[in-house]
Each structure stands twice: as structure tokens, then as C-alpha cells.
Amino acid sequence: MNLQHASVALKKTFGYDQFRPLQADIIQTVYDQRDVLVLMPTGGGKSICFQIPAITLEGTTIVVSPLIALMKDQVEGLTANGIPAAFLNSSLDASQSRNVEDALLAGYLKLLYVSPEKLVSQGFQPLLKRLKISMFAIDEAHCISSWGHDFRPEYTQLRFLKNQFPHIPVMALTATADRVTRKDIADQLGLQNPAVFIASFDRPNISLQVRPGQRRMEQMLAYLKERPGQSGIIYCLARKTCETLSEKLNAAGFQAAYYHADLPAAKRNKVQEDFINDRVPIVCATIAFGMGIDKSNVRFVIHYNLPRNVEGYYQELGRAGRDGLPADALLFFSYADVQTYREMFEQSEGSEEQKELKIAKLNRMFQVAEAPVCRRRTILNYFNEVYDQNCGNCDVCQHPPQHFDGTLAAQKALSAILRTGEKVGMTLLVDILRGSQRREILEGRFHEIKTYGAGKEYSYDEWLFLLSQMLHHGYIEIAYDDFSHLRVTDAGKSVLFEGKRVKLALPKPDVKKAPTERQPVLQSKSPTQSLREALFERLVALRRLTAQKQGVPPYLIFSDATLKEMVEKQPLSDTELLMVSGVGERKLQLYGDAFIGEIRKFVLEKKEEGVNIKGSTQLVTLDLYKKGQSVAEIAEARGISPNSVMAHLVTMYERGETIDIHQWVGPEEMDLIQGALSLFEAPYMLKPIFDHFEGRFNYDAIRWALAHYQKHQT
């Protein structure tokens, strides 16, 4: 087996033209019979790494997966591409299991997904020994590590695979990259000198954005308005927030559902299914939602509250844009969230050490949210990946902060903090600086201090922005153990008493206005853009209908990326459709006619409305021809020359349409004409060939012989 086979299988089965970085190398390692450890981010394309060997090698690949939903999803995906695959887990009844086992023993399955429980169970061992196994793939392999957050005890028994089948390659895959976990996986599985592949954790198609959490709801409604009908997840910290938020969104006209661990299983399943099947676009959820969801067209992920750590943040936002199309991640952050977490962590079970670790990770998350540095750069560096450029696809890159001499502002704030005896929190401090009449101010007699009302030049939000930077630069700190009161650090004192200069980023005007960062909505759309959108919608509708009929999620029919490419290329024939990424042979066979039919219908309809799309005039001719009209009749009806009609038909034929060409050129004539082509040079002209045969063949015959020749050349 070699990579040539792998590439062919990639195109034939999945309709993809090339491997992503590392995929080919990983597959080659398996062909070389070596163990391998794969670290790739969510959406990076891990599945292909074991599916292609599974398809191309003799025997069955056993895939261990901890999540029932994921197994089902992957098996459906493979089946949709014509690959015999099945799963065995607790969701099957006895007779279903027996069917799968029969298929296995008959050697029919290329891939079998099993839960770790099933794989290690006594009952399964005799069966396993009778199979021809090409490889073991251990998905979500970090579950083996007790260091990680998804520890599954059954995973630790998987070592028996290497003991019992020392010569069968094992591939371990995970999206969790830290070093401890990595080593743990290799050790515990007993991998023998494994090849380790670490893909970049960058997800360049996801645009990253962080905004202060003030007036979140307002900001969010504006954000959602720009994304009508798009699929997205909104992560909330509290279960209650999921519910109230979803209620508010519905009241505002957005279709949303909520999901959290308190809901009965049936309800949770329904929400998940509705989301996967594009019936409900938005889900407000706790982080319980999303594990094992492979839905490729999630267009945005919003963190309504600050995530508890960078790992979680990145994993959750990674659920957006798996199809590689542009997607958005938006994070709201507020000090209140930090406080909530701290209380949560304090009260949580576990050792002091664990609590400290949690708090340290929270602080890092907070810093990532606050740093006026390229977001991607901050995050990837957090994961120890060297990334020393600015990404251009995050809010910091797009609106680089403007700095000003903030010494005076900082001094006002620092002085006020000291004068209150370091007994105020962030919001009260701002109110003091802005001279508010709040009850707490009067009660604390803070209106009597010198700096009361000294900072009216900045709005409330602007002050919060400045203070958070001062915090970030280390001039002040928050005493979490003392009601989150602010304290002036030594660095702060040197600003106040020694005149140390402070450079601060200017508050952005959009902090106040709930910004709309995407302008196109306001501009009128160009005609081609509206045409594209219209066709895309038609294809989405057809996909939904097809999915309903088949009882599978829409994205398993075709991904958004594939539909977008169809819109771009407007394939009018099988040959052309096959060139669209994501269309393999099986899907061409199953859905080709329907999708080509829809595109043709669209093109013809637009033509009727007077809008010309590339190829539409040829299509109109073809349409009439298929309805039984002769070339002369079509020319008459369309008011064009018979020559043009013929040219249209030739084009459509070359694009892959089946047309009986022998009415214009017989098989023997064709041989003669094609045989003479060596005398000429491409691109071939009709007249020299006509002259060569001294008028023996008419122009139509030559034209069709040429078209036939060209069509079968490529």
C-alpha cells in the first residue's frame, strides 16, 4: 500500500483533492506498520488519518471511541460515502449487536467503532481474535490520562491491545496537547517507539474577538442580527443563564434552545438532534454541550461568560468552522465572572493544590482576554506553539489599540483608591471618579475625598477599560480575599509618588456602541452576491429535504463548504460536480442528479428573469434539445443561428452532458477524423481539417469528432 492508493481513496471516497498537512505522513506511518500518536486540534482532520488506512488496507480497523453520539455520527458519515462501517456500544440491543458481529466476522466491515467497555469485555475477546484487524485507532486518547479533564478508567485497560496484538499498528489521536498527557498516552497504551505528529493548533478560519461584558444582551442581539439563520453555540456559566438567555433570544425573534446537565436526558437529546439537523440554529448551553458533536457548519461560538481556562476556551470555540469556512468566536469578559469562579473554586472539593491550579488557569484566561496583543498569538503561545506574527483575523489585529500618556488618569485612580483606604471595588471606584451620588458613596463619605468627581472626562465604560489595563500592567490588584477591593501595588505607588509614566491604550469608541464589525450588511449587496446567496439557499433547502428523507443530519449529505463551492463553480454535469471538494463517487451517485438538477433549474429560471449566469444560454439550448426540438427548431425559437445552437450543444457535451453525437458523426468517420489530428496542432481549427478531407466531412461532423476527442483526452 502506498500514498498513491491513499490519494485515490481520498478523492473517490470523500471527494477531497489533497491531504491536509501531516495527514499523508501519518497514513504512511501506518502503512509502515508503526505505532503513531496524533495531536491535532478539533476540526483538524483526525478522522481521515485512520479512515484512509482503514479503507485501503485489508481487514477491519477497530476504532475506540468514548462517545456514543460521535460513533453514530462517524458511522453515518462513512456509510454516506459508501464505506461499510458499524458501531458496537450499549445503545444497541442484542439482535442489533448480533447483526454487527455477523457482518464483522464475514469480513464485511472496513471500520468498527467500539466503546472501550465493549472492547475490553470478556465476551468480546474471542470475536476479536477471529478478525483480520488492519489497525487499532484510539480516538480521544487523552481520556487515558488521569491528569486530563476527561479521564475514563476503562481506557487504562487498553494496554492489552499491544500485549495481545503486538504487530498491529496502534494510532492514538487527541486534541489535547500538553506534554504530560502526551507521554501518559504513549506509556499507558504501550506504544512502541511511536511516531509523534503534532499539528499546528491554529484555526486560521476562526476570527477571534473579545469584548467587555457590559450590555452583553444588546451587543449580542446586534451580533446575531448580522448572522440570520446561522448555526451557533452560546456558552454560559450558569444553567439558569442558559434558560433566560434562550427565552430572551426567542422573544427577540431568534430561534434558540437551551441545554444543560439538569435537563432530562430525552430533552437534552432532542436539543442536540435539533441542532445537528439544522432545525434549531442557536443553542444556549453550559460546557456540557458540544462534546462529541461533529456538526461542521457551526458558524459562531459565543462565550457569554468568561471560560474557566484557556484550554476550555479554545476547545469550545474550536467547534466553530470545522468545514474550514470563515467562522467567528466572540468572548465577553467581566470581573464579575472572575469573582464567581473564584467562589466556585474555593467551595469545590479537592486539595489546595488543585484549587490553586484552577485559579492560576483562570488568571491566565483573564489575561488572554485582556491583553492588547494579537489573540491568536497569545493563545498559541499559551499552548507552547511558536507563533510570532500577528494573525490579522482578530479584534486586536483589526483595531490595533492607540496608546496615549495615561499617567494623569492612572494617578487619579490610584489616589482615589488610597484615599478610600483601599476599601472599594472596581465599579464603586469608577462612580467615585465620576462623581456619582450613589448611596454607598454618601454612606462611605467618599464624596468628601479629594479625587471625588475628578475623572468626569471618561465615561463609565472607558474607566473600566483603563482600570483593567492598570490591573493588567500591575499597578493595581484585586484582593479576592477581601471583597474584591482594589489595592495599589508598589508599581502603582511609583506612578503616584514618583511620577512614573504610564502608557495606556485609548478606549475604543466601539466599547460604548455595541459595535457592528461587519459592514456589508449596511451596504447594498452586489447582484452577483445576491445571486450566490439565492442559489446557496436553494441548495441548503435541497440538502435539508434530502437529509430528512434519509434520516441523517444535513451536513452528512454535503458540508457548507461543499455547497459554497457548488455555488462558485455551478457544476452542470457529473464531471463538473465531481471536481467539487467533498463530492466523492458515492455521493455523486446518490445526490448528483438532484443537486445538478437544482443548479440547472436555478440557472434557467434566472435566465427567464433576464439574468445571465455563466453557461445559461447553453443550458437553455440544451433544455430545448432535451425536450425533443431539433437544432433548426431551437435556432428558430431562440432567434440564434443553427451554428450557435450546435456550439452550445458541443459545450454542454464537453462539460459532461450525455448527447447522442452519432447523429452528426458516425463511429468510423470519427475514427478517421481523430486519426488525422496528429497532422495538426492543438487548439484545433475546423477549417484546416475540413480542407484536409477535401469536403468529405461536413463541419458538424468535424466539430463533434473534435468534441469527443477532447472530452476523452482529459
Chain residues in the site for ligand ADP (CB under 6 A): 16, 19-20, 23, 40, 42-48, 294, 296, 322-323, 559, 581
Please report whether residue 397 would count as binding Zn ion according to CB under 5 A.
Answer: yes
Dist CA 306 CA 236 (whole Å): 8
Please, which residue, 210 or 572, has the CB nearer to Zn ion? 210
Q: What strands lie across the sheet with 133-138, from one edge to the other?
A: 85-88, 111-114, 60-64, 133-138, 170-174, 36-39, 195-198
* Residue 44 partner contact from Zn ion, ligand ADP, none using kind-dependent CB cut-offs of 5 to 8 Å: ligand ADP
Dist CA 314 CA 692 (whole Å): 69
Please, which residue, 110 or 375, has the CB nearer to Zn ion? 375
Dist CA 330 CA 210 (whole Å): 6
Contacting Zn ion (CB under 5 A), which of 135, 237, 394, 556?
394
Pick the piece of the chain touching Zn ion (CB under 5 A) from 303-311, 370-378, 476-484, 532-540.
370-378
Please report whether residue 109 would count as binding Zn ion according to CB under 5 A.
Answer: no
Contact by Cβ (8 Å): 134, 53 = yes
Please report whether residue 391 would count as binding Zn ion according to CB under 5 A.
Answer: yes
Pick the piece of the chain touching Zn ion (CB under 5 A) from 10-18, 384-392, 628-636, 702-710.
384-392
If we measure between CA atoms, which residue out of 300, 367, 362 comes closest to residue 330?
Answer: 300
Please report whether residue 374 would count as binding Zn ion according to CB under 5 A.
Answer: yes
Beta bridge partners of 233: 283, 301
Please, which residue, 372 or 444, has the CB nearer to Zn ion? 372
Provide, rounded to whole angstroms, the least separation between the CB of residue 417 and ligand ADP: 47
* Residue 43 partner contact from Zn ion, ligand ADP, none using kind-dependent CB cut-offs of 5 to 8 Å: ligand ADP
Please, which residue, 48 or 380, has the CB nearer to Zn ion? 380
Dist CA 114 CA 124 (whole Å): 10
Provide, rounded to whole angstroms, the least separation between the CB of residue 67 and ligand ADP: 12
In the 3-class helix/strand/coil scheme, how is 428-451 assigned residue by residue?
HHHHHHCCCCCHHHHHCCHHHCCC
* Residue 20 partner contact from ligand ADP, Zn ion, none using kind-dependent CB cut-offs of 5 to 8 Å: ligand ADP
* Residue 323 partner contact from ligand ADP, Zn ion, none using kind-dependent CB cut-offs of 5 to 8 Å: ligand ADP
Provide, rounded to whole angstroms, the least separation between the CB of residue 461 and ligand ADP: 38
* Residue 391 partner contact from ligand ADP, Zn ion, none using kind-dependent CB cut-offs of 5 to 8 Å: Zn ion
Dist CA 369 CA 211 (whole Å): 8
* Residue 46 partner contact from ligand ADP, Zn ion, none using kind-dependent CB cut-offs of 5 to 8 Å: ligand ADP
Beta bridge partners of 166: none
Contact by Cβ (8 Å): 235, 301 = yes
Provide, rounded to whole angstroms, the least separation between the CB of residue 392 and Zn ion: 6
Pick the piece of the chain touching Zn ion (CB under 5 A) from 57-65, 376-384, 427-435, 482-490.
376-384
Dist CA 504 CA 491 (whole Å): 15
* Residue 406 partner contact from ligand ADP, Zn ion, none using kind-dependent CB cut-offs of 5 to 8 Å: none
If we measure between CA atoms, which residue out of 140, 111, 115 comes closest to residue 38?
Answer: 140
Provide, rounded to whole angstroms, the least separation between the CB of residue 21 and ligand ADP: 9
Provide, rounded to whole angstroms, the least separation between the CB of residue 561 and ligand ADP: 8
Dist CA 592 CA 583 (whole Å): 9
Angle subtended at Cα 528 by Cα 522 and Cα 532, rounded to the nearest 5 degrees: 90
Please, which residue, 390 or 710, has the CB nearer to Zn ion? 390
Dist CA 565 CA 637 (whole Å): 34
Provide, rounded to whole angstroms, the least separation between the CB of residue 54 and ligand ADP: 13
* Residue 553 partner contact from ligand ADP, Zn ion, none using kind-dependent CB cut-offs of 5 to 8 Å: none
Please, which residue, 308 or 377, has the CB nearer to Zn ion? 377
Please, which residue, 46 or 118, has the CB nearer to ligand ADP? 46
DSSP 8-38: HHIIIII--SSPPTTHHHHHHHHHTT--EEE
Beta bridge partners of 598: none
Provide, rounded to whole angstroms, the least separation between the CB of residue 396 and Zn ion: 5
Non-local (6+) Cβ contacts of 1 within 8 A are: 31, 53, 56, 57
* Residue 45 partner contact from Zn ion, ligand ADP, none using kind-dependent CB cut-offs of 5 to 8 Å: ligand ADP
Q: What strands lie across the sheet with 327-333, from one edge to the other?
A: 206-212, 327-333, 300-303, 232-235, 282-285, 256-259
Type of residue numbered 621: T
Q: Beta strands 403-405 and 503-505: pairing type?
A: antiparallel
Pick the piece of the chain touching Zn ion (CB under 5 A) from 65-73, 79-87, 387-395, 485-493.
387-395
* Residue 397 partner contact from ligand ADP, Zn ion, none using kind-dependent CB cut-offs of 5 to 8 Å: Zn ion
Angle subtended at Cα 432 by Cα 490 and Cα 463, rounded to the nearest 5 degrees: 70
Residues near Zn ion (CB under 5 A) are 374, 376, 390-391, 394, 397
